[in-house]
Amino acid sequence: MKARLRIFHRLILRALFREPLRTALTVFAVALGVAVVLAIELAGVAAAGSFRSSLETLAGDADLEITAIGGVPEELLGTLARLPYPLEFSPRLEGVARVEPEGASVTAVGLDLIAQRALGDAQHPSPEEIADSRAVWIGADIEPRKGGVLSLSVNDRRFEFIVRGSLPGAARERVVVMDIASAQDAFARAGRLDRIEARHPPSRPLEHWRQLILDALPPGVAVEPAGARTDENRKMLAAFRWNLRVLSYISLIVCGFLIYNTISVSVVRRRPEIGIARALGATRWDILAAFLAEAACFGAAGGLAGLALGRLLAEGAVGMQAATVDSLYVSSAPAAIELSAGAVALALLTGVAVSLLSALAPAFEASRVAPVEALTSGQREFQARVRVRRDLLAGLLLAVLAAAASQAPPIGRKPVFGYVAALLLIAASAMATPAVVTVLSRAWRKGIRLILGVEAMLAARGLAASLRRTSVLVGALSTAVAMMVAVGIMVGSFRQTVVLWLDQQLRADLYLRPAAGGAGRQAVIHPGLADALEALPGVAAVERFRSYDISYGGLPALLASGPTEIVRRFGKTRFLPGQDRHAILDQLPLGDYVIVSEPFANKHRVRPDDMIALPLDGEPREFKALGVYYDYSNERGYIVMDRGVMLKYLPDAAATSLSVYFDSGADPAVVRRAVERTSADYAVSIQSNRALRAEAMRIFDRTFAITYALEAVAVFVAVMGIAGALLALIIDRRQEMGVLRFLGAATGQIRRLVLFEAALLGLAANLIGLAQGALLSLILIFVINKQSFGWTIQFHWPVALLAGGLSLIYAATLAAALYPARVAVRLNPIEAVREQ
Amino acid sequence: MKRLALLALAALGLVAADFRPALPGYEYRFPRDHFSHPEFQTEWWYYTGNLRTPQGRRFGFELTFFRHGVARPPVRSSPWQVDDLYLAHLALSDIDKKTFHHRERINRAGPGLAAASAELSRIWNGNWHVEWRGNVQSLQAVTDAFTLRLEMVPQKPPVIHGRDGVSRKGPEPGRASHYVSFTRLAASGALELDGASYELAGLAWMDHEFFTNQLSPEQAGWDWFSVQFENGAELMLARMRRNDGSVDPFSHGTFVDRSGAARHLESKDFSLVPGATWTSPSSGAVYPIEWRIGIAPLGLELSAATPLANQELTGRGGPSLTYWEGAMDYEGTLQGKPIRGEGYLEMVGYAAPFRFGEASGP
């Protein structure tokens, strides 16, 4: 053990301290990689963790939840309360309200404040307070304080509430609690409850009680374990979080390349020392252990630094993730970021594991250095060169495997094989890199010498000579480039697809939504407004769209209705290939028929003519799916029926949004003013076609902001690594540089030599990365996206983005070479040659 | 202790105009008058009783339904409108095991959550109810700890306490209640407790009172006794205590003989002397749990004692009350001859002065 420590000290530590800059760069790269993984993990937990909030437990922990599409009729609460079982039932109504005038949204919750003691033991609202429909109790994050007036827009109406007190302890959120009577009034949901929560004694299992409750209820009412909805939301978010997590691993892969490079450099450079150590009796295992220990040091140091950095990055990431969750899934407030023991372990283990794995190959090689071999140099590089062909073959094989993996179905809604394919592709291109570099440097040598002079030729030759290390550097950078390209193409294609879809979809002139709307909670507009708008001169039609949050097949979904007649006249709903739009829309209003959106169809494997079971109006019912249409507005997926059909089962004429179509001859400005005047009494937001489109794209871009941030970090890690590696390359070739200087090379020429090397490296990495990225983007678009989210994305080259990104990376690579170039220039030629 | 005058505020403002006081000359019509009287502010239905298993294991029970009017006239634009508060208390005294279970509930009428309906012949609060079928009253009370089901059959017609249909509680007119009792109900049924099921039989007592603002501010609480003698007679005594500790002259009682004939007792007719006390560990209130009772006009001397000291229902603050209500044993002489009985004792206002709908909080 002691001997090993000594070897570690002599062979590794000394070398590390001799080059503090390079050591620091490597550690920093690991730290960044770890930090990104940690930040995404922490932010993901915080963004999703808030589904189950103190809000859920306002009235105590429920065991079971009783729900029905369109709400539970309140009489059922009386029926349940009288059941001769030791169960407690409490009603709940929940919706989003907007604080006026600041516009922030809050969750408004209606509870039975008399029976439930939801305000804590210290507060007992008097019947007078409860009878006052304006009395509310608020979470700590909302102004004003007790006694103040709180102006809220609820659905399309505005209310002034009086704050009677604050919520106990934990409810630090933006919550407004009121009595169920006030809530029904404010949300215009008389006679309905969002859900009834039940608590049961532990004497019997939950299922026993669930069955008893089910038996007492009419069909069509669901009884589920509490938190089932929360779990559904989590499940729905799982794909989103999973993909983000995998994306965060890219930085780690880049890191791996760099560690590999660093350790390889160490091994090559310390060959004489290794030889001596071996000659003095060190075993192979001692050498292996020493180099693995070096990697572990990088990993541990990087992990520790990454821990702090990750915590910092998480602050930024949680905002980005929460915004996405909020706009795409359900409205939720992010929870606090918690640096758990698990997260700390994750950071350290990730750092060490990635480092060890990447160091395995070079460390193994070091252990195979024979004592005699130590004094001869250059042999290893020679070997590497002759392996180029074999590596290329292996790369091809890996590429074939990648292609095969991309054809496999998902596992549990997760595109596991998609990611395997991506990984195989990265490995394949890593194996092919030496061949590409060889070809490229040969071409460069032949072609460029004439134009760029002798320095360029020497640079090419230098790189080809140390092919192994060069390839690893190119591999690191090209992986980063590839990810940028792949994600860039994917997002760009997605964006273009959405833009085209919006063009087809958004045909109306104005869109009205309740001011208090928000994702995941359906605010409504009074039917009177739609009628009034329809009567205005210049208005051709008003499309009343209504959607309900439902649970389908254990996942959240949306049940919606629209007037098929207007959709047929104005809309351009596109169905999947092979489905006849006209026939489908002709049949839709005639009976129990629905159409479903593409994400819904993919999630639940629904094909045309399949039956969809929906309990409506107290009866289990079956609806025939007529077609699957393209939709990019919601990942949960829509089931859409004709408005007339829905009103038959859910007789609530209010709409969640209105689309107003103008007469073709009318003056849009005049009609818009008329619409605004008519809506003045309602708290609705009115958006023009263009504004709505802009908002949709804004949400889209916000959603992918974090993706770009992740890529930027990966590229940054790679460029840092290039700087460090070039530095090592220069130092290793100081004799060569010395000789060049000795032979009369000017300092400018030396600098150019180094810069040309970097340029060549960057070029190779960009070319390989571009090709690899284009292939990866196919996997992202057609395998990973399709399997996780179920969207059809049309392939599209985002030329500007790619050109910009690649140029930036190229410039960064060159910039990274500036410092090594300076070092090369400063080398004392006499000293360098004497060493020889 | 801070007194939280919560419900009282609402109540006081409404009393004069919106609710009707209990005045002499009220004409009772049964069975209608066994159910709700929303024109009066407060109303309660008290069931108490001493029951035994065939093996002789003894249980006491109390099930009380309260209705307290909040808003008049009823608005009822929504079933959630709070016109009345419905409270209910349930207690089970497991005398032999020396344990006492109690639960409480508070509801509004809501969509069928609680009410006292003559049309349905039912008084209920969630799954605690008493349903009348003919003259049989069936009781059901379900909790996580026990479930009690009883059938109760009156052995005597209802007794109307006081004079001229009112039971006076204070000097001003209206400081009174309409007070009807079933003093002897033959009760039989079943109890599920701790996973076991017990057959039960014994005697129950039912009090029904409705009034508006019956206590005056000087009155701090009361001690209420019910006795069911082995010889077939019953006795009810209500001692009103004033804030200064003295006994209110409007204390009263009723003696019901074997035939069902009721005799009204005035304050001067009886003496009640508290004896040994028990201090509640949870509320700190000191309750006399032994009493000497003397009723000179009847030649009745009784000593009262409880078989279980802790029968205190501890409220959780707010509208929920803390009071002692428990099974009692009575022994003594009637005109020189030994006499025995069982019954209940209710002691209110020991933890804090009592105002209905107003309560003490920490």
Q: How many helices (H) and strands (E) does chain B have?
A: 1, 27
Of A79, A86, A181, the CB nearest to B144: A86
Pick the residue of B4, B66, B82 with the most A CBs within 10 A to test the interface with A by mutation: B82
Contact B113 A77 (CB under 8 A): yes
Pairing of strands B323-334, B300-305: antiparallel
Q: How many helices (H) and strands (E) does chain A have?
A: 29, 20
Neighboring chain A residues of B143 at a CB cutoff of 8 Å: 86
Neighboring chain A residues of B6 at a CB cutoff of 8 Å: 124, 126
Measured between CA atoms, how close is B269 to chain A, in angstroms?
41
Helix (H, G, I), strand (E, B) or coil at A550: strand
Predicted local distance difference test score (pLDDT) of residue A541: 92
Measured between CA atoms, how close is A84 to chain B, in angstroms?
6
Contact A127 B71 (CB under 8 A): yes
Q: Which two tokens stand for residue A77?
A: 């609460």
Q: Spell out the SS3 assignment of A191-234.
A: CEECEEEEECCCCCCHHHHHHHHHHHCCCCCEEEECCHHHHHHH
Instruction: Supply the CATH classification number for the domain B3-20+29-360.
Output: 2.40.370.10
- B353 pLDDT exceeds 70? no
Give the residue carrying structure tokens 């505020």.
Answer: B9
Contact predicate A30/A343, CB 8 Å: no
Pick the residue of B9, B72, B108, B123 with the most A CBs within 10 A to test the interface with A by mutation: B108
Give the residue carrying structure tokens 């000290």.
Answer: A9
Predicted local distance difference test score (pLDDT) of residue B312: 94
Cis peptide before B31 (omega within 30 of 0): yes
Contact A184 B80 (CB under 8 A): yes
Contact predicate B62/B48, CB 8 Å: yes
Provide the percentage of residues in chain B whose pLDDT is more than 90.
74
**Which positions 75-94 of A are in contact with B (Cβ < 8 Å)?**
75, 77-79, 81-86
Pairing of strands B262-266, B252-256: antiparallel
Measured between CA atoms, how close is B221 to chain A, in angstroms?
23
Contact A126 B126 (CB under 8 A): no
Q: Is residue B12 very low, low, confident or very high in pLDDT (cuts 50, 70, 90)?
A: very low
Q: Which residues contact B222 (CB under 8 A, 6 or more apart)?
A: B238, B239, B240, B241, B346, B347, B348, B349, B354
Contact predicate A384/A757, CB 8 Å: no
Q: What's the rounded Cα separation, in Å, for the pair A344 and A352?
A: 12
Q: Is residue B270 very low, low, confident or very high in pLDDT (cuts 50, 70, 90)?
A: very high
Predicted local distance difference test score (pLDDT) of residue A2: 67
Torsion of CA B151, B154, B159, B160, to 10 degrees: 40
Q: Which residue of B has its CA nearest to A128?
A: B10
Measured between CA atoms, how close is B64 to chain A, in angstroms?
17
Bridge partner list, A680: none
Neighboring chain B residues of A86 at a CB cutoff of 8 Å: 142-144, 147
Of B9, B107, B144, the CB nearest to A114: B107
Of B82, B111, B318, the CB nearest to A124: B318
DSSP label of A410:
P
Q: How far is CA A516 from CA A97, A145, A512, A545, in A?
A: 5, 22, 12, 16
Q: What's the rounded Cα separation, in Å, for the pair B148 and B145?
A: 10
Pick the residue of A72, A79, A82 with the most B CBs within 10 A to test the interface with B by mutation: A82
Which position has the higher pLDDT, B48 or A188? B48
Q: Which of B226, B168, B215, B171 is nearest to B26 (CA)?
A: B168
Give me the DSSP letters along B99-154: EEEEEEEEEESTTTTEEEETTTTEEEETTEEEEEETTEEEEEEE-SSEEEEEEEEE
Contact B361 A124 (CB under 8 A): yes
Neighboring chain A residues of B70 at a CB cutoff of 8 Å: 127-128, 131
Buried b (16+ CB within 10 A) or exposed e, A571-580: bebbbeeeee
Give me the DSSP letters along A10-78: IIIIHHHHH-HHHHHHHHHHHHHHHHHHHHHHHHHHHHHHTTS-TTTTTT---SEEEE-TT-EETHHHH
Predicted local distance difference test score (pLDDT) of residue B124: 97
Q: What's the rounded Cα separation, in Å, for the pair A753 and A825?
A: 10
Bridge partner list, A161: A150
Q: Which two tokens stand for residue B165?
A: 């249909």
- B160 pLDDT exceeds 80? yes
Distance linking the first and last C-alpha atoms of chain A: 36
Q: Which two tokens stand for residue A238?
A: 């799982």
Measured between CA atoms, how close is A73 to chain B, in angstroms?
10
Q: What residue type is B50 in one-letter code?
A: N
Provide the percentage of residues in chain A whose pLDDT is more than 90.
16
Contact B78 A181 (CB under 8 A): yes
Residues of chain A predicted below pLDDT 50: 52-55, 59, 378-385, 519-520, 836
Predicted local distance difference test score (pLDDT) of residue B1: 21
Predicted local distance difference test score (pLDDT) of residue A468: 65
pTM, whole model, 2 decimals? Answer: 0.75
Q: Which of B289, B361, B353, B301 is nearest to B325 (CA)?
A: B289
Measured between CA atoms, how close is B129 to chain A, in angstroms?
9
At A570-600, the pLDDT tens digits run 877 889 988 888 999 999 999 999 999 998 9
Q: What's the rounded Cα separation, in Å, for the pair A348 and B346?
A: 67
Give me the DSSP letters along A581-633: HHHHHHHGGGTTEEEEEHHHHHHHT--TT-EEEEEETTEEEEEEEEEEE---S
A201 shares contact with chain B (CB less than 8 Å): yes
Predicted local distance difference test score (pLDDT) of residue A46: 73
Buried b (16+ CB within 10 A) or exposed e, A416-429: bbbbbbbbbbbbbb
Interior angle at CA B221, CA B216 and CA B223, nearest 5: 130
Residue A113: in which H helix or E strand, if any?
helix A113-116
Q: Which residues contact A824 (CB under 8 A, 6 or more apart)?
A: A730, A734, A737, A750, A751, A753, A754
Measured between CA atoms, how close is B258 to chain A, in angstroms?
37
At B56-95, the pLDDT tens digits run 999 999 999 999 988 777 665 788 988 899 999 999 999 9
Of A84, A117, A130, the CB nearest to B127: A84
Predicted local distance difference test score (pLDDT) of residue A225: 85
As a whole number of angstroms, the longest Cα–Cα distance in chain A is: 102
- What mean pLDDT comes out for the span B26-52? 95
